[in-house]
Chains A and B, each alone.
Chain A
Amino acid sequence: EDKVVQSPLSLVVHEGDTVTLNCSYEVTNFRSLLWYKQEKKAPTFLFMLTSSGIEKKSGRLSSILDKKELFSILNITATQTGDSAVYLCAVEALHSGNTGKLIFGQGTTLQVKP
């Protein structure tokens, strides 16, 4: 059965700290891995990763994928209180008719204290 596991499940840090969120997966017909940020509403897209070893970066956030070891990490440097959210990792698996479906991890709840 396809599975996506995130760790830690929750994390409390102080502003300025650097955090690393982990996502491992066992998915048949892997297509891509995605990171979303959810703040009590709709998940918003952060990154999509398809190739191993290529870092995606957006401001203080960065992410990388290792397709051999089947995991990804999301790094947030110089954290701010506005980074407090649930971070979701999802793997897109190829499904019937060349369509894809998303399999989500449980999410990591990040709280950044002032």
Chain B
Amino acid sequence: KAGVTQTPRYLIKTRGQQVTLSCSPISGHRSVSWYQQTPGQGLQFLFEYFSETQRNKGNFPGRFSGRQFSNSRSEMNVSTLELGDSALYLCASSFPTSGRASEQFFGPGTRLTVL
């Protein structure tokens, strides 16, 4: 069974631009969560999508948004990029009915650098 995939793996943008990251969950998984990882703040929860609906949300500004498609693939968008948005963005998927964050499988991440 293929794991969680994220594209692109690396991305360089400049301040003020916007970016879209993609995550394909494990086949059969319908919940997708996004996390931001930085050296200073560690891993922080961004949001979770289930059946095309945002189910949970972390404490991030409105510049961070996401969506989920009917095939469970998810995208995350960051508008008006700031230097502090440079981070590793991790996506994790989980089996549909459990509702348990613990049964998450992580993708390899997208490394975003904002210049």
Q: Which residues of A does B touch, CB under 8 Å?
A: 31-32, 34, 41-44, 48, 88, 90, 92, 95-107
Distance to closest chain B CB from A15 (angstroms): 26
Q: Is the CB of A42 within 8 A of B109?
A: yes
Closest approach, in angstroms, between the C-beta of A65 and any C-beta of chain B? 13
Give the contacting residue for B44; candidates A32, A34, A104; CB below 8 A: A104
CB<8 Å pairs between A and B, sample of 19: A41-B109, A42-B105, A42-B106, A43-B43, A43-B90, A43-B106, A44-B106, A88-B43, A97-B99, A99-B99, A99-B100, A100-B99, A101-B56, A102-B33, A102-B43, A102-B101, A102-B104, A106-B41, A107-B43
Inter-chain CA distance A107–B33, complex, in Å, is 19
- Give chain B's interface residue range (CB within 8 Å of chain A): 20 to 34
Q: Known A-B contacts: A32-B102, A42-B109, A99-B48. Give 15 more (CB < 8 A).
A: A42-B4, A43-B43, A43-B90, A92-B101, A95-B101, A96-B55, A97-B99, A98-B99, A99-B99, A100-B101, A102-B101, A103-B45, A104-B35, A104-B42, A104-B45
